[in-house]
């Protein structure tokens, strides 16, 4: 029966085109997807809901200006999951000194804020694919290098070709941005199981032979570097490896004969110091070392860096300004016997120079103390798929770590950069090693290893990548705590950057719990506005000497990705969180009573819920105490042992406005005092998009069994 009710609800929702309802603006792709820095360009941003009146755009780093050009209203109904959406024209202006790379983009309209799309800032002049057919070398579109070629593989079996003049001995680099410029788009589904574009890139010579070819390099994105064998006309060919196509399959090919930098070595500089550094990449043969200075007054910041050689100026790569002492081990240290002694805390720029190789570092440890080792390579676009291992002085393996699991919510992502927390079994010298999971090695297999004493700690994750509030309303976010190394204390949750007139109620995850609700509320007279925000957690942790230390960590935010069928939803890491003040929404208010609940183990409590609908609204409203997607939870607020009773009424249809939520406490329910909770009311726009409201805050106390 429950499954049938869910199906009926989804059918009702999907029968509506969606544009008459309130729902977050579901962005898809931008074309052209790249803008050269120091220029401005008109782009078309597609959305499954109208972007009329868009008054602000936000990027995960400052500097870029993006302005809506449309002067007349444009309707944009959501047709189906595979829809690319309606194009809206924007003007994008990029400062000359803007760092290159992929940016997350959000849009705010008077009625809603948006999901995420992406824009690439490039060094090269942008060339847009013409309307003419360019599906063979003979019909290839002429381009001059360097260029950022922006196109779309818009239909099945589509092949796009671009031709340029080359000379024997000329070094050419071509890299595709396709998956990297769509990875956080809410719905890239074309037809199950086709999701992202999976590009394959080929370079075809004057006589028609393939000079170079590549499929996956930067994740699913392709990369080619080669030396041209002869003078003549060359063709760059791109297609989906499955011969799939979609208007969502936008791409940019950065095509250049300039030196290409993959990283600097070392990867980090300690604050207040300079080091000699060499480029790692292509076109730097015999390049002498350069002085690399800490590039920012702030510590632990990755700053964009270039390398200038006789052949030109390279692309940008990140270099870390670190507060830690640094070691640079470019070769050697490849066995326990030759391990480099290190003192913790420190950072290490290393390189696995040979296939099936590893690097070893010796450190002294104290029995019972914890130590943390973290590799950064994959996130920097470097090829190392790291494995961290700990050995004792006899060479016995004590601990190892491969991939890092991300969000603990249902549907998680996995990162290739390894993290290992090691508890020393005794006093003595131990050895930490870094190697490639697949036995890779070579000049480009560089990495940064952060090594430092550790202790009780935590990580924050959550369901909070967008929020919409009308004046006088509330909404609900959820956060989840990953406790590390025995940490069992409370964590206070804070937020920065809220629009004027919006506040978050004080929130603390108490000892014994790993989650809580975050309630945002808007004043009655708040103005339409939006801003990017940042969530963080603060806690006091005990140190080995008996003292305490205050630690603060930014929250890890994840966005929803709809992949395939109705239940194929995952969460993916993203950088931006947006809060928008909007025009009146579907519901004017959600009231709950009583506002103080005292429960005993084995007891029940009733919450009366009353909603006030916007005039004319008859949409179904779902009530819940957790953030559920079908049966998967991506956010909880009730203490362990307290659950939503199946006797609760959780669906309000038509003009219904009242319901009763019943909470049940198990006999071993966790005792809590004055924990702030709220009933969540969801108005669905589609089966997986909803506007979420929070009720009147409720203070929950659960007594102990004694």
pLDDT in tens, 563-583: 765 556 778 889 999 999 999
pLDDT in tens, 509-527: 999 999 999 999 999 999 9
* CA 483 and chain centroid, separation: 21
What pLDDT does 325 receive? 96
> Which residues are registered as beta bridge partners of 276?
291
Determine the Cα–Cα distance for residues 288 and 276; give it in Å rounded to an integer.
10
What pLDDT does 655 receive? 85
pLDDT in tens, 482-512: 999 999 999 999 999 999 999 999 999 999 9
Q: Where are the beta strands (DSSP E) in 510-620?
A: 515-522, 529-532, 534-542, 548-554, 556-562, 569-574, 578-581, 587-593, 596-599, 604-613
For the segment 328-346, the average pLDDT, to the nearest whole number, is 96
DSSP string across 265-287: ESSEEETT-EEEEEEEEES-TTP
Which position has the higher pLDDT, 190 or 318?
A: 318
Q: Is the pLDDT of residue 287 over 90?
A: no
Which position has the higher pLDDT, 686 or 160?
A: 160
Residues 575, 623: contact at Cβ < 8 Å?
A: no
What pLDDT does 15 receive? 35
Residue 394's pLDDT band (cuts 50, 70, 90): very high
Residue 4's pLDDT band (cuts 50, 70, 90): very low
pLDDT in tens, 626-681: 987 766 777 899 999 999 999 999 999 988 999 999 999 999 999 999 999 999 99
Cβ neighbours of 486 (radius 10 Å)? 12
Averaged confidence pLDDT in the chain: 90
Cα atoms in the Cβ-side hemisphere of radius 13 Å centred on 647: 7
Determine the Cα–Cα distance for residues 637 and 508; give it in Å rounded to an integer.
11
What pLDDT does 18 receive? 38
Q: Is the pLDDT of residue 22 over 80?
A: no
Determine the Cα–Cα distance for residues 407 and 315; give it in Å rounded to an integer.
32
pLDDT in tens, 100-135: 999 999 999 999 999 999 999 999 999 999 978 899
Residues 377, 280: contact at Cβ < 8 Å?
A: no
Residue 85's pLDDT band (cuts 50, 70, 90): very high
326-454 CATH choice from 2.40.30.10, 2.40.170.20, 1.10.1750.10, 2.60.120.380: 2.60.120.380
Q: Is the pLDDT of residue 2 over 70?
A: no
What pLDDT does 327 receive? 97
Determine the Cα–Cα distance for residues 568 and 192; give it in Å rounded to an integer.
10
Which residue ranges does the chain devote to CATH 2.60.120.380? Answer: 25-257, 326-454
What pLDDT does 19 receive? 40
Residue 21's pLDDT band (cuts 50, 70, 90): low
534 burial type by CB count under 10 A (0-12 exposed, 13-18 middle, 19+ buried): middle
Q: Is 283 left (phi over 0), alpha (psi -120 to 50) or beta?
A: left
Cα atoms in the Cβ-side hemisphere of radius 13 Å centred on 5: 10
Phi first, then psi: give them for residue 164, nearest 5 degrees. Answer: -140, 160
25-257 CATH choice from 2.40.420.20, 2.60.120.380, 1.10.1060.10, 3.90.800.10: 2.60.120.380
Residue 295's pLDDT band (cuts 50, 70, 90): low
Q: Is the pLDDT of residue 246 over 90?
A: yes
């Amino acid at each position: 029966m429950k499954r049938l009710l869910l199906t009926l609800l989804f059918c009702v929702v999907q029968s509506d085109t969606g544009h008459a309802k309130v729902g977050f603006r579901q962005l898809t792709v931008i074309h052209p997807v790249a803008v050269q820095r120091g220029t401005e360009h008109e782009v078309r941003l597609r959305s499954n809901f109208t972007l009329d009146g868009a008054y602000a755009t936000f990027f995960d780093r400052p500097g870029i200006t993006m302005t809506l050009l449309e002067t007349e209203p444009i309707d944009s109904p959501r047709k189906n999951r595979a829809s690319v959406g309606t194009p809206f024209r924007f003007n994008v202006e990029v400062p000359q000194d803007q760092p290159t790379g992929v940016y997350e983009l959000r849009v705010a309209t008077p009625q809603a804020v948006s999901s995420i799309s992406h824009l690439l800032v490039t060094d090269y002049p942008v060339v847009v694919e013409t309307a003419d057919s360019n599906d063979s070398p003979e019909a290839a579109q002429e381009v001059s290098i360097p260029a950022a070629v922006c196109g779309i593989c818009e239909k099945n079996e589509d092949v796009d070709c671009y031709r340029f003049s080359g000379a024997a001995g000329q070094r050419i680099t071509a890299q595709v941005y396709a998956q990297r410029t769509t990875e956080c788009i809410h719905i890239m589904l074309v037809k199950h199981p086709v999701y992202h574009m999976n590009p394959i890139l080929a370079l075809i010579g004057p006589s028609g032979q393939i000079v170079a070819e590549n499929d996956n390099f930067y994740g699913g994105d392709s990369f080619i570097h080669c030396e041209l064998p002869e003078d003549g006309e060359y063709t760059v060919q791109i297609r989906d490896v499955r011969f799939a196509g979609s208007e969502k399959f936008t791409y940019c090919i950065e095509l250049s004969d300039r030196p290409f930098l993959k990283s600097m070595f070392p990867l980090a500089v300690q604050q207040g110091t300079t080091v000699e550094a060499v480029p790692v990449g292509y076109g730097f043969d015999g390049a002498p070392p350069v002085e690399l200075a800490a590039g920012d007054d702030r510590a632990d910041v990755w700053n964009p860096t270039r390398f200038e050689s006789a052949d030109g100026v390279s692309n940008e790569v990140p270099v870390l300004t670190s507060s830690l002492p640094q070691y640079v081990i470019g070769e050697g240290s490849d066995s326990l016997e030759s391990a480099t002694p290190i003192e913790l805390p420190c950072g290490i720029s290393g390189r696995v120079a040979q296939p099936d190789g590893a690097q070893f570092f010796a450190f002294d440890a104290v029995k019972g103390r914890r130590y943390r080792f973290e590799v950064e390579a994959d996130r920097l676009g470097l090829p190392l798929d790291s494995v961290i291992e700990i050995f004792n002085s006899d060479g016995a393996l004590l601990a190892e770590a491969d991939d890092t699991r991300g969000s603990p919510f249902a549907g998680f992502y996995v990162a290739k950069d390894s993290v290992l927390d090691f508890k020393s079994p005794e006093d003595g010298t131990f050895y930490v090693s870094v190697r490639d999971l697949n036995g890779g090695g070579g000049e480009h297999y560089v990495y940064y290893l952060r090594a430092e004493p550790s202790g009780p700690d935590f990580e924050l994750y959550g369901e909070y990548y967008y929020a919409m509030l009308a004046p006088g309303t509330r909404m609900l976010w959820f956060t989840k705590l990953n406790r590390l190394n025995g940490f069992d204390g409370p964590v206070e949750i804070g937020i920065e950057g809220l629009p004027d007139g919006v506040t978050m109620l004080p929130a603390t995850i108490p000892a014994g719990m790993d989650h809580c609700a975050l309630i945002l509320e808007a004043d009655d007279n708040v103005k339409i506005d939006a801003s990017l925000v940042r969530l963080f957690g603060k806690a006091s942790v005990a140190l080995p000497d008996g003292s305490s230390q205050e630690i603060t960590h930014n929250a890890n935010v994840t966005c929803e990705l709809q992949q395939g069928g109705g239940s194929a939803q995952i969460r993916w890491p993203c950088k931006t969180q947006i809060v928008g003040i909007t025009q009146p929404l579907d519901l004017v208010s959600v009231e709950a009573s009583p506002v103080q609940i005292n429960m005993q183990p084995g007891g029940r409590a009733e919450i009366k819920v009353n909603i006030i609908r916007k005039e004319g609204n008859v949409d179904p409203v779902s009530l819940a105490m957790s953030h559920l997607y079908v049966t998967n939870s991506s956010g909880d607020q009730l203490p362990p042992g307290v659950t939503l009773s199946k006797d609760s009424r959780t669906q309000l249809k038509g003009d219904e406005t009242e319901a009763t939520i019943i909470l049940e406490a198990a006999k071993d329910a966790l005792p809590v005092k004055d924990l702030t909770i709220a009933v969540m009311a969801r108005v669905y726009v589609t089966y997986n998009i909803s506007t979420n409201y929070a009720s009147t805050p409720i203070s929950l106390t659960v007594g102990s069994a004694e």
